[in-house]
Amino acid sequence: MAFQADYVVRSRTVFTSEPGEEKPRELAFAVAGERIVQVGAPDEVLASVPADTPVRDFGDAFVCPGFHDAHLHFFHTALGSSPFLLMHMGDSEAELVERTKEFAAGLPSHAWVVTQGWRDYRWDPPVPPTKRSIDEAFPDRPCVMYSGDGHTLWLNSRALEELGVTRDSVPPQGGSYDKDEDGELTGIVREAAAMELLPRCLEWLTEEDIARAYADQMGRMAEQGITSICDMALMPHPGCDFVRDDVYEKLSREGGLTLRVHMYPTLLDDQSRLEDLQERYADDEFPLLRAPGFKQFFDGVSSQHTAWLTDPYTNARTPGDCGRPTVPADRMRELVLAAAERGHSVRIHAIGDRAIHEALDIFEEARAWYGEPLQGRNTLEHLENLLEGDIDRLREVGVLASSQPGHITLDPGGPERDLGPERSRIMWPFATYEERGVEQAFGTDSPITAVTSMDVLYCAVTRQDPFTHEPAGGWLPSERISAADALRIYTAGSAAAAGREDELGQIAPGYLADFVALDRDITACAPDDIQRAQVLATFVGGRQVYER
């Protein structure tokens, strides 16, 4: 059978990400338009296309599907690498404040001072901050310090004043304004209250500022071999999801969109936002844009004791301290069933074991009543602390587990501190998921961890921190997985989370021609060499968007 093709790709080291594949092999594939039309032995593929068809011969370079970040927040990722926001954790409160003063000197006069990254439990000393230090540094300018886990704001008095938050303000359900023993605001705002305020802290940015930051970030991601993302709503409030379809569409019209975007707005009673997006992206006007489903939040994070647990935290701050749901369980059930009735998939942030268990109950009921979603997959996001029986339930209920390998070592000793050794034993169980047939996807949760593709794979394979390479041998080493499995999860698995496993995430006939070439075989090299791998070229829909 003869094929018309725009070009043929060949390499002695091609990894297709098909199920069960353990190592690459010599292959060629033909690309016509945005899709792969044939895959096979090089002589076979070359004989089936016209003799003058261009051939891109990558020699020994490792060719595989493009990487797919299944969970990130693109707005804050782009800003974090722009001149408008400082990404810095600091070694202490004092050090971070000094670094922020240096950063603020280069901002335009109308700009708020905004940073992200602080984690007080990693400071020396590990003491929560207060507004006092940033009041001294910025007495007349709003300053907002966004935490590294993305769930807490630390604001100065001027920012609180601009936002209208006083000691008498009532926080939204699931949030808090922290106060000292005298009832004065400390400047720390948590969970739903922080999520409600953050958009207002960024209103000074212009549309041109944001579009430029997006385009620059896409260029950096092409250098990482990232060809697809799932842009997840950041907040469970109307108008606060930070999923900027308008910016993506602007870049698409201008020819500046260089990756595939799957958008997940917040699930609300009014489902029209998602349905409007799905209608807009149903034709060929925006070929790189899709909106497969909704996002919601069931709880917070363990380090702040806002993840929802079955039993109290080991280091409980108050009697019976089990965290809390961000959305009450009956309300989450109501929202998810309403979405399921209309055929929509939902991806739920669920970190604590109680949140995971309740979410599985809800998804099980939704499936019984309405079957599988029409687009996308029902998915749990993060799943850090599971009840052992819920691992098998993920498979039984058909729920995909979306994890971020870089989270494993974000808080060294934190799981044991907060949950104790027994519960910490069942965290990010990648190998157990594989053994029990649980479908997985990988991402970064950027800006919580950096969008660095090789670090995602390194962390999954070693369960070590990508910067310190600790702990030796990996944290819970029995849950390490092979590089081939990690690569398949980061490509085909993430495509499944977006409901596109039949056309994305593999090198196979009929699939979209999203692929990358690396300078080494990451399935065969030593784990420490994975981080040294360099992307040589990145293709999206058959079009080359990066070459080293």
The CATH class of the 85-201 domain is alpha beta
The CATH class of the 69-73+209-513+519-529 domain is alpha beta
**End-to-end CA separation in angstroms for the chain:** 35
Helices (runs of H) and strands (runs of E) counted in the chain: 18, 23
Q: Token pair of 498, please?
A: 């977006």
Note the pLDDT tens digit of each residue in 254-289. 999 999 999 999 999 999 999 999 999 999 999 999
CB neighbour burial string for 294-333, b if at least 16 within 10 angstroms, e if fewer: bbbbbbbbbbbbbbbbeeebbeeeeeeebbbbbbebeebb
CATH superfamily name and code, 7-66+514-518+530-547: Urease, subunit C, domain 1 (2.30.40.10)
Note the pLDDT tens digit of each residue in 354-388. 999 999 999 999 999 999 999 999 999 999 999 99
Q: Where are the beta strands (DSSP E) in 148-258?
A: 152-155, 175-179, 185-190, 226-232
CA distance 24 to 522: 10
H or E stretch at 527: helix 527-530
Domain spans of the chain?
Answer: 7-66+514-518+530-547, 69-73+209-513+519-529, 85-201
pLDDT reported for residue 234: 79
β-sheet bridge partners, residue 363? none
CA distance 413 to 471: 10
CA distance 435 to 424: 19
Note the pLDDT tens digit of each residue in 68-81. 999 999 998 998 88
Q: Give the percent of the chain with pLDDT over 90.
A: 85
Return per-residue pLDDT of the chain as tens, 548 residues. Answer: 678 999 999 999 999 999 999 999 999 999 999 999 999 999 999 999 999 999 999 999 999 999 999 999 999 899 888 888 898 888 999 999 999 999 999 998 999 999 988 989 889 888 889 999 999 999 999 999 988 777 799 999 999 999 999 999 999 887 899 999 999 999 999 988 888 888 888 889 898 999 999 999 999 999 999 999 999 997 666 666 889 999 999 999 999 999 999 999 999 999 999 999 999 999 999 999 999 999 999 998 898 899 999 999 999 989 999 999 989 999 999 999 999 999 999 999 999 999 999 999 999 999 999 999 999 999 999 999 999 999 999 999 999 999 999 999 988 999 999 999 999 999 999 999 999 999 999 999 999 899 999 999 999 999 999 999 999 999 999 999 999 999 999 999 999 999 999 999 999 999 999 999 999 999 999 999 999 999 999 999 999 999 99
